[in-house]
Amino acid sequence: MSIAPRIAFDESPRIDRVTLAIGPVDGVSGLLIRRGATALVAGLADRPIVNASGLLVFLNLPDRPQYEVEVDARRAGFPFIERVIFTLPPPASKDPCARRRDVVLSPGPDYPFPPGTTLIRGVVARGGAPVAGASIAATPAGGSAAFHARTVANGAFALPLRLPPLGSHEAESDVAVTILVAEGADSRSLVRPVENGRSHSFLEPIDLGGGNDPGFFAT
């Protein structure tokens, strides 16, 4: 007759402590990215667990007042690694959401934008060479907020905008949009008419090292 193996139990139950939870958010749809996103905390080898809602949850991290977090969703089609600083809430905080931080991920030129997206596409160059990491800021006339994008390795960018809804009085005509392109000490400012619900493209690269005036068309 076989003897059942002895089962050893911990003297006290283990209770995991949620240190922080990262929500990788699709910057276009506003939805959590459930696959293809990872996160790291600077200086630590800990890996998060993915809960049922798609949050990247770090457990039992060493106590720090702040954590520098790197979110990488390139496998999900988002080309930029985002870095954020997470400051812990006070120890007495009872807010269950205080340890959550949503990180909005910017789409790249290959993102499958849904039909009807108001979009500006282009390429940034300097003396004929593509410029990676250039910042793009587009501010519609009369608007207080700018929309932002960055260029990828080949200098290309795709910037979605939210203009007044189609059918509203404000959307009956094109909107003048100021497009600021910058990288290092170089910058360019261009004003172009944008039509709600259509994709727009520059006909040639925006040259940060010169003063070209690239054409602009809607499709």
Residue 111 located in a structural domain? no
Q: Decide which of 105, 131, 165 is a domain's last residue.
A: 105
For residue 163, pLDDT beyond 60: yes
Give the separation between CA 44 and CA 59, rounded to whole angstroms: 12
Q: How many domains does the chain have?
A: 2
86 & 155 share domain: no
For residue 48, pLDDT beyond 80: yes
E strands within 9-141?
18-26, 38-41, 49-50, 56-59, 66-72, 82-87, 100-105, 118-126, 129-130, 135-140
133 & 48 share domain: no
Give the separation between CA 174 and CA 205, rounded to whole angstroms: 23
Report which of 160, 158, 142 is spatially closest to residue 150, judged by C-alpha positions. Answer: 158
Q: Which residues, at least 6 apart from 120, have a Cβ–Cβ distance to it below 8 Å?
A: 136, 138, 158, 159, 161, 177, 179, 192, 194, 200, 201
Residue 8 located in a structural domain? no
Residue 112 located in a structural domain? no
142 & 50 share domain: no
* 40-62 mean pLDDT: 93
Residues in the chain: 219
Looking up residue 132, the CATH number of its domain turns out to be 2.60.40.10
Give the separation between CA 61 and CA 215, rounded to whole angstroms: 52
pLDDT in tens, 91-108: 778 887 899 999 999 999
Looking up residue 39, the CATH number of its domain turns out to be 2.60.40.1120
Residue 1 located in a structural domain? no
pLDDT at 162: 86
Give the separation between CA 43 and CA 61, rounded to whole angstroms: 11
Supply the range of the domain harboring residue 212.
Answer: 118-218
Q: Which token pair is 121?
A: 């596409």
> Backbone phi, then psi, for 169, in 5-degree steps?
-60, -40
pLDDT at 88: 86
Residue 141 located in a structural domain? yes
125 & 213 share domain: yes
Q: Decide which of 49, 72, 105 is a domain's last residue.
A: 105
Residue 12 located in a structural domain? no
Q: Decide which of 42, 77, 105 is a domain's last residue.
A: 105
Q: For tokens 């793009």, name the residue.
A: 136
